[in-house]
C-alpha cells in the first residue's frame, strides 16, 4: 500500500514543558485531564535506543500507546494509519520528538508505529500503554503485529 502524508485520526501530541533549574529539569509527561477520556495507562516502561537504531514498526489491535520523548536523544517517530474504517486510512506522519522537541504522543490501536534514534547518543523513551503486556500475569497473547518481521512496505519505508 502507498501511504500519503497527512494527519492521522486519533493520534494526539502534547508539547511538554521542561522546568529547568540548577538541579536539572522536571516535566509532566501526561495528566489524566489531558489524555483522551478512554485512555488510562495500565503500566509503564522505559527504553534506551542506540544511535541510528529503530524500534518497530508494529501495531496493536486493542492497545493505545502513550509515548513520552524528553531526551536524552532525538527520534523520528513514524506512524501509518492502517485502520480501514478510519477517515485517515492510508495517511502517514513523521514526528520529530525528544531532547530538542519534548513531546508525549498518543498512538491509538491500528496505527502502525516505530521510532528511530536520529541523534549521536543513546535516546530514552517512556511508554505508558493502556493494556498490560501479555495481559494479567503475562498469561495472554501479546497484542502486537510486528511489521519488521514481515519485510513489508511499513518496514521498507521506515528504514530509509
Q: Which domains occur in the chain, in start order?
A: 4-158 (2.60.120.10)
Predicted pLDDT of residue 1: 74
Q: What is the pLDDT of residues 57-74, one digit of tens each?
A: 999 999 999 999 999 999
Confidence of residue 158 (pLDDT cuts 50, 70, 90): low
Predicted pLDDT of residue 138: 87
Report d(CA 86, CA 92) in Å as an integer.
13
What are the residues whose beta carbons fall under 8 Å from the beta carbon of 44, sequence distance 6 or more?
126, 127, 128
Report d(CA 11, CA 22) in Å as an integer.
35
| 150 vs 82, higher pLDDT | 82
Q: What average pLDDT does the segment 40-54 reach?
A: 95
pLDDT at 11 > cutoff 70: yes
Q: By C-alpha distance, which of 150, 155, 133 is closest to 63? A: 133
Mean pLDDT of the chain: 92
Q: What average pLDDT does the segment 34-51 reach?
A: 95
Report d(CA 113, CA 109) in Å as an integer.
10
Q: What is the pLDDT of residues 100-136, one digit of tens each?
A: 999 999 999 999 999 999 999 999 999 999 999 888 9
Amino acid at each position: 500500500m502507498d501511504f500519503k502524508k497527512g494527519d492521522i485520526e486519533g493520534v494526539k501530541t502534547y508539547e511538554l514543558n521542561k522546568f529547568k533549574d540548577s538541579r536539572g529539569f522536571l516535566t509532566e509527561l501526561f495528566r489524566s485531564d489531558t489524555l483522551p477520556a478512554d485512555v488510562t495507562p495500565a503500566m509503564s516502561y522505559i527504553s534506551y535506543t542506540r544511535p541510528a537504531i529503530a524500534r518497530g514498526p508494529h501495531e496493536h489491535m486493542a492497545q493505545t500507546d502513550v509515548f513520552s520523548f524528553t531526551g536524552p536523544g532525538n527520534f523520528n517517530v513514524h506512524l501509518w494509519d492502517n485502520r480501514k474504517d478510519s477517515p485517515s486510512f492510508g495517511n502517514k506522519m513523521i514526528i520529530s520528538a525528544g531532547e530538542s522537541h519534548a513531546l508525549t504522543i498518543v498512538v491509538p490501536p491500528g496505527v502502525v508505529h516505530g521510532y528511530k534514534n536520529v541523534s549521536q547518543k543513546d535516546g530514552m523513551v517512556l511508554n505508558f500503554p493502556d493494556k498490560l503486556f501479555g495481559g494479567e500475569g503475562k498469561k495472554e497473547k501479546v497484542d502486537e503485529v510486528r511489521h519488521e518481521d514481515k519485510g513489508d512496505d511499513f518496514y521498507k519505508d521506515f528504514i530509509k
